[in-house]
Structures are given as C-alpha cells and as structure tokens.
Chains A and B, each alone.
Chain A
C-alpha cells in the first residue's frame, strides 16, 4: 500500500489548501487566461491559417481557423525577410550584449573608485532605463537626423561625414545598437556596482599583502566574485535584446528600417500579426522565437552555472 504523506492526514492541511487556492485564485486566473492559455494557443495557431471571415454554411464566421499542418513553418524559412530578421536579431544581440556589459563593468569599476553615488547621479544612470521607450526613441530620432542631428554635428568634429543614420541600410542597425547601449549601460552598471560593493574588503587586503597590482586584483578578485551579478545582467540582457521592437518601430517611423535593415524577429511577428493579419504565420514565428530563447537560456544556465562563484 502506498504511504500517504503524514500531512495529508491533518485537517489543517486540507483547510490550508482550500484557503491557499483562494488566495492564489486571482493571480492564477489571470496567469491562466493571459499566459498559459495563450502559450498553448500560440502553438495551436501556428498550425492553422486564420481567415478574417469565412462563409460556412449560411453563416459568416469571423476568425475562422483552418488546419494547415507545418506549412506556416516551411513558409517562414522560405521568407527572405524572416531569415533576415533572424540574422539581424542575432547581430544585434551579439554586439549589444557584450558591449553593454563591458561598458557597464568599466563604468562600475570607476564608480567604485570613490565617487559617492548621490541621488543626482543615480537619477542620471537610471533615467534612460525607466523612461518610456517611445519618448527615448523620439528624442534619438531627432539626434540621428541627417542634417540637423546632434550626433552628426558632434561627429563632424572628428572629421566624420554626415551619416544618414535612419535612411542608410548600413547604419540602421548600428543606430539601434548605440541607442540601446546608452539606455541600458547605466542600469547595468548600478547592479554591478552594488555587487562590487558587496565584496568583502579582506580579499583586497590579502591581495595587497601579496603584492598584487590594481589590475590584477580587479581581474582575479572583482570579476570572479562579481559573477552572480554578471550572470544576471547577461541573462536579462540576452533575453531582453531578443525582444526589441518598440525602439525600431518608433525610430524608423513604423517601418523596419530602410531595406528592412532593422527587421527583427519581434518586428516580424508584429508585422505579420498586426499589420498583415496573418495570425497563423505570426504565431509560427513566435514559436520559433520561443524555441531560440528557451534553448539559449537552458544552454546558458547549464554552462555558466559552473562558472558562477557564490560566496557561500
């Protein structure tokens, strides 16, 4: 006979279960309807073609779904724009994540060297992160202006010719990268700084006794002991950067850049779903996005788990 867990016998347990479910009800209900259900529905949708309206029998049925198997997926990989979206998203991620973290690390190191974090500085570093993306993109759209933009003017001092950031396919993606590095570097450096300040001074004292230079100390002590924060920042940066859309939508005036040069995976999903109303195909693209993110996260978690040094 199977052993029944001891606590199942207590009346308190069942009373608690009932109450717990009551407490969980609102949260779980919302999550169920707006997260779990659509998650599975996305898979379902990806195997269908959705007609805006179809006459079936004598009835006009809106959002009529027709099973089409894997054709949405095969079509995706025949779409040169989808391939482009994957490529460009990868470039964006591959460049902006390391660059942002690298800069944030350097920034945090300098901040750690003595500048006290007064409220004003904190505001400065956080502003780009907490302000609405639309407003930021709007401002940067003006900064990137070909003739009158601030950036081209400043670059002029270094002898750089006018760059048409927003209309030249070569510079569209870099424009997005630059803006987002600016947006996230402050926030990330605050996190890294918090981590740095939590490192026990005794490590540094010991290193000094051993005659280690500042840089050696930094490389051998600070960075390794910072790995929990670095890992955290890396993960959220990675996943977050796969999802960029708003910035591009606003910067380029609701087009994915000149010659689709700023087309990303989420933009593709948005365009297919909400500008062309190919719901099935948009769902298929989002499943592919999920697969990529899921795989990457799993990979990162298993590989880097070993390299992350927690103090305890």
Chain B
C-alpha cells in the first residue's frame, strides 16, 4: 500500500547513479538530504507553496462563510422557491466539471480574471457537497433554540454566527478540510486559467518541474515528496474529521 511512497522517499535521497542501479538499492549509503534543497532551488517552489497556501486558505474561508449561510437558509428557513432552488442544487451534481472548462475559460477571459488569483479562488468558493453536509447538521439543531434567541431580541445573523456555527463545528471543520485539500490538489483548473510562473500552485509547478528536470529522478522524487507533505501533515492531525466526513456522505 505504502510501497510507492516509500520508494519515492528512498529515491529522493539517492544520487542519480544510485537511483539508476539494478537491482535497486532501498536505502542509500548516505542519505542525500541536499536533494531537497537542490530541488527547491531549481524552481520557484517558495512561490508555488505560497500560492497554494494562499489560495487554499482564502478559498476555504470564503467557502465556509458562503456555505454556512446557504445551508442555514435551506435547513431552517421557509422561503419562496426553496424546493426549486434545492433541486437545482442537486442537479449540479450531475454536471461533469470538464463540460464547464471551455465555457468557463471564455468567461474568465472576458472578466479579465485570466492570470489572476480571482480566477483561482472565486469559482471554488461554493461546494454543493458542503451545502448538503451542513444542511444535515443544521437540521439537527432544535428550532426552540432560535425561538428562544429571537425572543431575546437576537437577529438571525447573530444567531447563526454566535450559536449555530459553534454547534456545528465538526461539520464545518469537515467542510473546510475537504475544501482545503481539494484546493491544494487542484490541477487542471489552475493549468488552464493561468500561464504565468508567478501564479503556479504546487501541482502545476510540479508538472513544469517534471518537464524541466527530465530524468533527474532523485530531484523529481524530492519535489513530489515536498508536494505531498503539507496534505499529509494536515491529514494526520485531522483524521477523525476526514473519516467522519467521508463516512457521513456514504451513509444516506
């Protein structure tokens, strides 16, 4: 299961000639940690990582805000067209994202967002799964809570912010987590909507690194490792949220 990752790490610590040895060596005589420094300096990885973090964090924050309010509206409020809108939401799950690439490319160009952070953040600020998930969560919050708050003169907005959100923290954490990872791993969208080196995220930067480095396998593996580490660390500390989130979507 973990074999490929172990191999990746192993190769990243070898010299090129050690990597090209048959039969393969598993543990190099001397671990060449400097490969990581070499890889880091061979391409603007600092910039790539900054971009990935910046985009992932802003997208997640934006998403949490937009999703919390939308989910609350669907969960707790009665309004004109509620069912219609909800069905529309369901409908979007049927649409393959690839179908939207070309039209969105044209839209982004016309908006003047090509090669800007806007293109990489705004379209991803909404996750229909997130709305569904939070809606489930919110439904479990008893209506009496709102009634009591309302009597006390609390505005709905404040209610959502001060009471509902803390109660739904696990759900929100899950939503935020998935969004962060999804944003970090995003490739095709970034590839298409930008072509400036300064805007590359880690996955896209990795792809260009691959074509620049050709057959420098140890450096390539070092770069791959660096790309994976942040997500790994995040997962390690938030496993429960992840599993719960996935399990929740699995059980109707």
| A contact residues vs B (CB 8 Å cutoff) | 7, 13-14, 16-17, 19-21, 23-24, 26-28, 30-31, 33-39, 41-42, 45, 63, 119, 122-128, 130-136, 138-140, 142-143, 147-148, 150, 153, 182, 186-187, 190-191, 194-195, 198, 228-229, 232-233, 239, 242-243, 245-246, 249-250, 253-254, 266, 269-270, 273-274, 279, 282-283, 286-287, 289-290, 293-294, 297, 310
Contact = CB atoms under 8 A, between A and B. Distances in A.
Interface stretch (B29-37, B168-176, B235-243): B235-243
B165 interface: no
Interface in B222-252: 223-225, 227-228, 231-232, 235-236, 239, 242-243, 246-247, 249-252
Query: Chain B: interface residue count, which band?
Result: 35 or more
Contacts of B85: 24, 28
17 contacts: A35-B100, A39-B99, A41-B103, A134-B207, A138-B206, A140-B4, A143-B4, A143-B7, A182-B4, A190-B246, A191-B246, A195-B250, A269-B102, A286-B96, A287-B99, A289-B98, A290-B95
Contact of B94 (A28, A269, A282, A293): A293
Given A42-B99, A130-B181, A294 B94 contact: yes
A287 B99 CA distance: 7
Nearest to B202: A132
Nearest to B62: A26
B231 A130 contact: yes
Contacts, number: 260
Interface of B: 1-5, 7-8, 11, 19-24, 65-67, 69-70, 72-73, 77-80, 82, 85, 88-89, 92, 94-107, 109, 122-123, 125-126, 128, 131, 156, 181, 184-185, 187-188, 192, 202-204, 206-207, 210-211, 217, 220-221, 223-225, 227-228, 231-232, 235-236, 239, 242-243, 246-247, 249-252
Contacts of A270: 98, 101, 188
Given A30-B123, A134-B207, A286 B102 contact: yes
Given A126-B242, A150-B24, A191-B250, A30 B66 contact: yes
Contact of B104 (A21, A34, A186, A290): A34
A16 B95 contact: no
A135 B206 contact: yes
Contact of B231 (A37, A132, A239): A132
B251 A133 contact: no
B122 A63 contact: no
Contact of B105 (A39, A126, A133, A274): A274
B80 A17 contact: yes
B126 A27 contact: yes
A126 B235 contact: yes
A232 B250 contact: yes
A195 B77 CA distance: 32
